[in-house]
Amino acid sequence: MSGNAPKTAAAAGGEPQLDSLSSFASVAGLVANKIVVVHPIVLLSVVDHYNRVARGTSRRVVGTLLGEISDGEVHVTNSFALPFEEDPKDPNVWYLDRNYHEHLYHMFKKVNTRERILGWYSTGPQVRMTDLEIHEIFRRYTPNPVYVIVDINPKDSVVPTKAYYSFEQPTSDRAFRRTFVHVASTIGALEAEEVGVEHLLRDLKNASTSTLATRVADKLSALKLLIGKIQEIYAYLQDAANKKLVANPNIMYTIQDIFNLLPDLSDPYLIEAFTIQANDTMLNLYLGSVVRSVLALHNLINNKVENKRASEAKKEKKEDEATEEKKKETASNDTKKTHKEGSQ
């Protein structure tokens, strides 16, 4: 099943046609303000779908996203897999079972009437040429479907999802073509879902790993993520300074707010506070090291005392056994001597 994207927004789904760059910017700004919240059950479902169908291959899997929209946030709370095939040699040849999709959605609707179709997902890992055509199918079920790419094997501790909306983009010849625009995505959960995830993580934790080691690993992962974000900001500012891209005022204002939150390291009060905090931390580390050393010496002394007592007890036991053997030997000799004298 394949198809071509429409040339105008009105033809695509009854949306108002964009006739100027200003209207294009307003639509882009409206879409950019949305945030897609993917719930844990959806991630588990996508991973299970991939492991059952395409594990160990270069194929991707496709499915439908269900949920609801609340306060400008798109909450993806459920999903189901779809039969999907595509030709790896010819990207224009692909198949998506719409009948199966509609039948399964009606079944889900009977279970939970609040959940409706929000869009679709794939395991990407990147946007492909046919994704706009697949996106058009889901525009028949919802006016503005969201497309979520789930990274099955994330390399770093980052959000494993990328979310996209589509809209009509004006071109130089005043024609329009549909394209994807990236929107923010995050991982969120209800209280009941958080409890379930905690139980799953509890089963996966290594019992031999201490709590301190786990905390250090979490801190290290967070610092690596922070470094990656700082590098992204640096690359963006470099491209904006070199006129490789047009700087977004909203992004620049946000970066300025970040810099305004940074402490003034030349402030004497702040320097003193940092010094006091560092000294307190180092004192705690020093006391901890001293206590560990004292406990180690105490255990060493206890081991030596116990070993000495065990050695003395073993020596006394051997002496007692030797004394008993000597007594038995003396008694045996006396008995033999008595019998000899009686026979004479």
CB 40, CB 200: distance < 8 Å: no
**pTM beyond cutoff 0.75:** no
What does the pLDDT look like over 274-297, one tens digit per residue? 899 999 999 999 999 999 999 999
Residue 333 lies in a domain: no
Residue 63 lies in a domain: yes
CB 128, CB 91: distance < 8 Å: yes
Instruction: Indicate whether 256 and 140 sit together in one domain.
Output: no
Instruction: Indicate whether 234 and 281 sit together in one domain.
Output: no
Domain boundary among 188, 204, 220: 204
Confidence (pLDDT) at 91: 78
Distance CA 254, CA 229 (A): 13
Instruction: Indicate whether 255 and 114 sit together in one domain.
Output: no
Residue 318 lies in a domain: no
Instruction: Give how many domains the chain has, as a whole number.
Output: 3
Instruction: Indicate whether 89 and 120 sit together in one domain.
Output: yes
Tokens representing 148? 């979520």
Instruction: Indicate whether 257 and 279 sit together in one domain.
Output: no
Q: Read off the CATH number of the domain in which 66 is found.
A: 3.40.140.10
Confidence (pLDDT) at 205: 58
Confidence (pLDDT) at 99: 92
Instruction: Indicate whether 170 and 216 sit together in one domain.
Output: no
Confidence (pLDDT) at 320: 85
Distance CA 128, CA 114 (A): 31
User: Which portions of the chain are predicted below pLDDT 50?
Assistant: 1-27
Instruction: Indicate whether 190 and 61 sit together in one domain.
Output: yes
Instruction: Indicate whether 171 and 23 sit together in one domain.
Output: yes
Confidence (pLDDT) at 8: 30
3-state secondary structure of 263: coil
Residue 343 lies in a domain: no
Instruction: Indicate whether 174 and 218 sit together in one domain.
Output: no
Instruction: Indicate whether 13 and 145 sit together in one domain.
Output: yes
Residue 327 lies in a domain: no
Residue 95 lies in a domain: yes
Instruction: Indicate whether 141 and 35 sit together in one domain.
Output: yes
Task: Show Cβ contacts of residue 224 under 8 Å, excluding neighbours closer than 6 positions.
Answer: 156, 157
Distance CA 61, CA 46 (A): 8
Domain enclosing residue 291, as ranges: 268-307
